[in-house]
Structure 1
């Protein structure tokens, strides 16, 4: 092994061998275990959310593979209709061309070319993360097999009356000219205006005041609504108002939707341009007037003076005209949530168009039942409530998109507008008995990418063909996903799986939290707090990090703010931590269902953990290579330390398996960390030294310790491998021959199972006594500033015969690690010298301080420490006693200050206790 742990020297070469050897393919003889990779966008790059979920999935896959299950991690990518089309259109724009100039067929050829050349970046980044996806089975939502599955599902649902075409309100992107899903709409609070307008009563008896944040939509009003119990307006229900600027009259209607306490209690109803108004309009059978073109300009439904104007130009002119006619009562500043397309950044318009829909009511019932009766289990369970709430109020699903890249809808129209749905045009002619001279034109729309993703659990396994993989791995075992797509993806997969496979698509849904920065804020480019997993693995200079974080941010003040924050947080850039440290950090942070605060301090600590493991392995190899490790028989004499570490190993095996089986990655990581760092490295390796080097040790004892060193380390590497695959593989290949473990890779070795025969409670109790003895000596040295290597006299008081026996049996360990100058047993009733004290069970361990320290110098040092701690404590308390600070500072800053007060108070108490002890000498 290399002297220094360098992840760059091992990771990529190991992964290349894993993949080239085909070691990720299903091979176990046990029960089938399958995880589906939530398909990342083909345009995507690895972000912290991906890294988090991929780490957890790979941990499960490697764990079950080692448990002997027939394990498949089915991977693939999503064609990402809108995102991919935008990428290629931008490339064409740089060349001075557009998709419309090329035509649909040539444009799609360009998209496929881009996908082959540039659309594989995220898969390469996943390899850097160590993911053991079976790449030989990788699927793409636009490949031939999945495209056939999409068409098959569409036609079957249409033939059953579960897909229809209708005119309804959708989210419309006026830049991309397509409907978009709710997930593709980002709503953020922005500063706007609230315009209060007067609508005259038709009989001239007065007016009603309505308020709107979008005055341009008033031209499409078809009613004014009031609450049926509002005494102010009950007498007006059924009467009419003059709709300003239009020459139309509209009714006053009553509807419970209206909040009489908000504004004037009168609400303008524009059914074609607001989702709530659409519902009101449907209940009252109101006309629906669509005012906009596909690019959000006013169409011929608007009065002539406003036709052709952009919506915001129309807004200005309408407000001016209302003001000129005395119909603008007032304008207020108003903060509102503005919906923008996540791709275009354009303000989304509710838009009335003809779209294709899935009638989901008949599909939702069985999907609800599957979770209610336990065939599907959410982890944590509380997410099932979110699922039920949405499913029980589900609306029909808009599945059509007005773009070119995607699965084209298998529907054709004749010149009279008649509709024919079939798998292809030839089938349409046969199915509907059409003559050859009937000209058919295919629907230009494509399907929403979530439609093909809904089929992912069975389409990736070969459906509609009946192949062995489909029978073997469906239903899949667990879906690992974020809470934000329970509606968009999880629910739809359940509905489609039950419909077409007559079974649930997965048995469990493990819902992860959201990765946030160290302050708990959501990571976003505009905040400049996004972390790239590859940067954490490889490291990045400050200059490169600054360029990355400010790239494409046009506002100079934003670039300046992000640059300042970056320099403060990473003055020297980000060091290379390696993949295993990143993965272990993510696993350790994976508390059940909670959002994750990602702090670089944690990953730095786990990088040190990797170093600790590497150095421990070097120690083991140096003391066992070329030595007798008991593989060829021979007498073994296990020391107390050997028996103890073997016993502790059985506990950590049991705990780790239990935690992984219940998706408590954080508890598994903690158990492995504590055992590796504290039990094995800090204690057992040190306790092995007097056995290996002591003159009194027998060869059988040395053989027993060497055997234990390699066996425990080899087992530990198998325990750690699912979370930390690279470092464990590299070390295991060195250690395995010494431990008698066969095979070419640790990933195909069995995951450890506990051996009750090696549980040794007495050894654990006795080593705990030894540890307390040694730790007591070390604590006194540290508190009294005595050099660690300086021998000190030890006086033992209030001891028992058991204490004497334990000291005699373990004197070699205590002399080696504690370095006592002498050990004196104080007779019962004897006077204790003025000493520093530590407890070992009920026995008192005393170290007389006379002659060990410079009393005056130590008092001076401690007085300075006490004064410094008191000053810091007073400053923190002063801030917390300031009401202005507590009220105005962010909650996390105040909490941090309170935690600091608690730390300083405890530290001050300890220093004062030490000072008092020294003064008594």
Structure 2
């Protein structure tokens, strides 16, 4: 098969992926390479964090797939039965927000439709988006088992969610209670604490007179929320605050109302905050709710779920928004002489994480999970190190979070999602429980034993159903202990450690008795090239699909993994993708070159591609190398190493192989891609292939190229498969190949070539530096008593690109090279040496001035303390680089 002159990803990627799918290469094999099946086999299971099925994939999804698919392909090459399960998330509230925006574009609102109509419309919307999303996952190269794709509204997911809920209900872990919840009045739904986003904002602390009832005078209450005073049921002072000891137990008149409320003592009142007197509004403040519980205070709701003030506030305030009411209350207090003043403050305010609406603490009956037992169980297993975390410190972070975990609100007031399977008795006087569990959620009303019940209209928090993800993706309940559970790794974003990972661990342990995964790898956010968070408003969002269209999927995968460390938010730029594209092009050209040598040599010797094993058999004195084929037993290629360059490349492939194995085991993806990049570009292409233009060891060229293709395949699957299909001697697909075996070589010979590389690099570098003083002409090389160079004159001349090599004949002349323990000179005139020395001295002075400036900057404490840390790090790195440059220049100067 003839290689195309250049590699154009668009010409290959769709075709290659279709070939993989047609050959069913993504489904888990029945046996591992050792012939073992079931739980006795070596397995590798990973499930995709389901992307929200409401739009296109973003850069974070690109990182997720690049990471997970690299792992999957690597362990497939290692002979394991791999199972990478794709997913799609109905993303309850997230999708709801997206769809409401769609309605707004059409001039419509959700209130124009019934709940069933809305559900049907959103379903159609999501199915359309899912199709596009799955195509994008294929474009990223995800080698996932598509027949096992799991959608979070699939029947098995709903069934498992209901099973867990029923069991928790029976175990007393599920309860319904009226509590303060985080409520978004725009979307009219509650949130769990972890879903609330806090922002520091400018605000005011108002001081309001509350007249005493039993005596003259007043107390001054400090508050940031005067509009909620209609819901005050007490004012509190600290029991240790002697200023107010004589009014404890008395009452104050609630401003703008005719109510009287008590003065109570509670530790919640901070003597150092404001006046030390605080209003207690149990229905609209989390801390006040707890105070109210301790003192048995009534709860009065004054804000409705639509964000408007309720009738209890009075006719003058009813129907006003919160901010409108605040302005009117302040005006009325001022007119009544009850507003003493205000103080500007900076405080943290809760917001809806999607629309930015200020969150209102609201009293609402909801379904809650009692997390105390679940958290305790999770902590025990985490402390037993049953799950390994990358980065390691996240284990302790998670344990600390679980130790302070509050009960989990799992009710959401939106139609889109899994309906909560609970029905309430219509007539409270009828016999039976107030609430009953029933999975007939398609019905709004049911009858049990003659008693009528109506369905709770709320849906589950998406995180509740998603906490079953490893269980439902492996069909644990259906198969009672799926062989792929627990997962080998859960790869996901560090930003959802609490929201998702913690809950998967708790629910996984509760349902199965086992941890749901053995390891957790957390990636950070992908930032723009300047280290800024990507956002549409900033215009710095990178679309992975656009990158793939321009540079190819492999280039994107390589670029997104480069420079990536566990748990850290790190910058990403187009340049890293361009570097990946260049590597793919380089590899294509390397492969064309090798194929060209193979074709020429085999044509000259007069044998066909099918006779390769015979030729290789003639070289049976070398080490053995194995590559996979479609046959059960891999074909054995035998090769010999005939010179030190060949020994050296075998050693370097072995070293890279070892580094890659360690990197993949420890999730060091950046180091992995850098290692294979260096092997291909700096070692294989620059040195080994150049030397093979002289020696042409066909068997070794084949084996080494196969090894390199196989090691790169996890990160760049498309180009490696395309090359594999173009090579004349490879069978089957590279996706089925075996991870390279250890190659045999002579260590002394390899080390000698390493030394020769240093020599040749110095010859090249110095020759280039001096040629500009000689009108671009290159200089010859003079060699003294140097065994290594004299034994390899042909190779040195060819690789160093000098026009001639001669002996010094015991009389050194020209410019001596800086290579240690080698007597080598460039045959240059004295004038060139003088000009070069002058240039070196000028460079040392110039770089020295730059170094002085950088050192002065670092000596300034204000710069070190106040400049961005990234800039400080760059300055330190520049100092080290400049110092190294000066030392190198001085060493050259000393030789002159």
Question: TM-score scaled to structure 1, two decimals?
Answer: 0.86
Report the counterpart of residue 752 of structure 2 in structure 1. 766
1:64 to 57, 60, 75: 75
Task: Quote how far apart the aligned CAs of 1:720 are.
Answer: 0.8
Q: Secondary structure at the match of 2:479?
A: coil
> Is 1:811 equivalent to 2:793 in the alignment?
yes
Following the alignment from structure 1 to structure 2, what is the Cα–Cα distance between the partners of residues 109 and 429?
20
2:386 to 343, 356, 375: 375
Following the alignment from structure 2 to structure 1, what is the Cα–Cα distance between the partners of residues 750 and 166?
67
Q: Is the 8 A contact 2:767 2:779 kept in 1?
A: no
Report the counterpart of residue 835 of structure 1 in structure 2. 815
Q: 1:215 to 1:760 in 2, by over 3 A?
A: farther
Q: 1:210 to 1:73 in 2, by over 3 A?
A: same
Following the alignment from structure 2 to structure 1, what is the Cα–Cα distance between the partners of residues 274 and 222?
7
Task: Quote how far apart the aligned CAs of 1:613 are.
Answer: 1.6
Cα deviation per residue 1:342-401 (whole Å; 9 max; x = unaligned)?
333321111110111112222222222221223222222211111111212221111111
Following the alignment from structure 2 to structure 1, what is the Cα–Cα distance between the partners of residues 118 and 745?
68
Q: 1:234 to 1:6 in 2, by over 3 A?
A: farther
Q: Which moved more, 1:903-912 or 1:521-530?
A: 903-912
1:110 to 97, 121, 145: 121
1:782 to 768, 772, 782: 768
Matches within 5 A, 1:539-578: 576-578=550-552
Matches within 5 A, 1:326-405: 326-405=337-416
Q: 1:507 to 1:192 in 2, by over 3 A?
A: same
Report the counterpart of residue 706 of structure 2 in structure 1. 714
Report the counterpart of residue 553 of structure 1 in structure 2. none
> Is 1:249 equivalent to 2:223 in the alignment?
no
Report the counterpart of residue 449 of structure 2 in structure 1. 434
Report the counterpart of residue 10 of structure 2 in structure 1. 8
Q: 1:159 to 1:689 in 2, by over 3 A?
A: same
Cα deviation per residue 1:129-150 (whole Å; 9 max; x = unaligned)?
1111111111111122222222
Q: 1:742 to 1:220 in 2, by over 3 A?
A: same
Q: Is the 8 A contact 1:778 1:818 kept in 2?
A: yes
Task: Quote how far apart the aligned CAs of 1:288 are.
Answer: 2.1
Question: TM-score scaled to structure 2, two decimals?
Answer: 0.88
> Is 1:731 equivalent to 2:717 in the alignment?
no
Q: Is the 8 A contact 2:691 2:795 kept in 1?
A: yes
1:446 to 435, 456, 459: 459
Q: Is the 8 A contact 2:649 2:688 kept in 1?
A: yes
Q: Secondary structure at the match of 2:832?
A: coil
Report the counterpart of residue 567 of structure 1 in structure 2. none
Following the alignment from structure 2 to structure 1, what is the Cα–Cα distance between the partners of residues 828 and 487?
67
1:643 to 642, 647, 667: 647
> Is 1:608 equivalent to 2:596 in the alignment?
no
Following the alignment from structure 1 to structure 2, what is the Cα–Cα distance between the partners of residues 606 and 95?
43
Following the alignment from structure 2 to structure 1, what is the Cα–Cα distance between the partners of residues 789 and 308?
90
Q: Which moved more, 1:672-681 or 1:327-336?
A: 327-336
Q: 1:68 to 1:789 in 2, by over 3 A?
A: farther
Q: Is the 8 A contact 1:88 1:110 kept in 2?
A: no
> Is 1:845 equivalent to 2:834 in the alignment?
no
Task: Quote how far apart the aligned CAs of 1:785 are.
Answer: 4.0
Matches within 5 A, 1:426-505: 434-435=449-450, 438-462=451-475, 464-466=477-479, 471-505=482-516
Q: Secondary structure at the match of 1:625?
A: helix
Q: 1:5 to 1:868 in 2, by over 3 A?
A: farther
Following the alignment from structure 1 to structure 2, what is the Cα–Cα distance between the partners of residues 238 and 365?
41
1:677 to 674, 677, 681: 681
Q: Is the 8 A contact 1:792 1:819 kept in 2?
A: no
Following the alignment from structure 2 to structure 1, what is the Cα–Cα distance between the partners of residues 884 and 511?
63
Q: Is the 8 A contact 2:783 2:790 kept in 1?
A: no
Cα deviation per residue 1:521-554 (whole Å; 9 max; x = unaligned)?
222223332222122222xxxxxxxxxxxxxxxx
Task: Quote how far apart the aligned CAs of 1:405 are.
Answer: 1.1
Q: 1:909 to 1:810 in 2, by over 3 A?
A: closer
Q: List runs of 5+ in structure 1 lacking aligned partners.
A: 539-575, 693-704
How many correspondences in the alignment?
Answer: 847
Q: Secondary structure at the match of 1:473?
A: coil
Q: Is the 8 A contact 1:720 1:728 kept in 2?
A: yes
Report the counterpart of residue 742 of structure 1 in structure 2. 731
1:77 to 63, 78, 88: 88
1:25 to 24, 27, 30: 27
Following the alignment from structure 1 to structure 2, what is the Cα–Cα distance between the partners of residues 523 and 873?
35
Q: Is the 8 A contact 2:421 2:439 kept in 1?
A: yes
Q: Which moved more, 1:33-42 or 1:510-519?
A: 510-519
Matches within 5 A, 1:254-265: 254-265=265-276
Q: Is the 8 A contact 1:654 1:754 kept in 2?
A: no
Cα deviation per residue 1:4-32 (whole Å; 9 max; x = unaligned)?
22222222221222223321111152322
Q: Secondary structure at the match of 1:650?
A: helix
Following the alignment from structure 1 to structure 2, what is the Cα–Cα distance between the partners of residues 650 and 903?
31
Q: 1:231 to 1:600 in 2, by over 3 A?
A: farther
Q: Is the 8 A contact 1:421 1:428 kept in 2?
A: no
Q: Is the 8 A contact 1:28 1:65 kept in 2?
A: no
2:660 to 652, 656, 663: 656
Q: 1:357 to 1:145 in 2, by over 3 A?
A: same
Cα deviation per residue 1:625-657 (whole Å; 9 max; x = unaligned)?
253385322345622211221122122112211
Q: 1:621 to 1:895 in 2, by over 3 A?
A: same
Q: Is the 8 A contact 2:236 2:266 kept in 1?
A: yes
Task: Quote how far apart the aligned CAs of 1:609 are.
Answer: 2.0
1:181 to 179, 185, 192: 192
> Is 1:121 equivalent to 2:137 in the alignment?
no
Following the alignment from structure 1 to structure 2, what is the Cα–Cα distance between the partners of residues 52 and 425?
38
Q: Secondary structure at the match of 1:308?
A: coil
Following the alignment from structure 1 to structure 2, what is the Cα–Cα distance between the partners of residues 826 and 284?
104
Task: Quote how far apart the aligned CAs of 1:166 are.
Answer: 0.8
Report the counterpart of residue 588 of structure 1 in structure 2. 562
Matches within 5 A, 1:827-906: 833=813, 835-840=815-820, 842-850=821-829, 853=832, 855=834, 890-897=868-875, 899-900=877-878, 903-904=881-882
Q: Is the 8 A contact 2:427 2:452 kept in 1?
A: no
Report the counterpart of residue 554 of structure 1 in structure 2. none
Report the counterpart of residue 435 of structure 2 in structure 1. 419
Following the alignment from structure 1 to structure 2, what is the Cα–Cα distance between the partners of residues 763 and 243?
93
Q: Is the 8 A contact 1:780 1:838 kept in 2?
A: no
Q: Secondary structure at the match of 1:271?
A: coil
Task: Quote how far apart the aligned CAs of 1:271 are.
Answer: 2.2
Q: Is the 8 A contact 1:245 1:303 kept in 2?
A: no
Matches within 5 A, 1:79-158: 79-95=90-106, 97-158=108-169
Report the counterpart of residue 636 of structure 2 in structure 1. none
Q: 1:124 to 1:754 in 2, by over 3 A?
A: same
Report the counterpart of residue 596 of structure 2 in structure 1. 622
Q: Is the 8 A contact 1:82 1:405 kept in 2?
A: yes
Following the alignment from structure 1 to structure 2, what is the Cα–Cα distance between the partners of residues 706 and 835?
39
Q: 1:426 to 1:660 in 2, by over 3 A?
A: closer
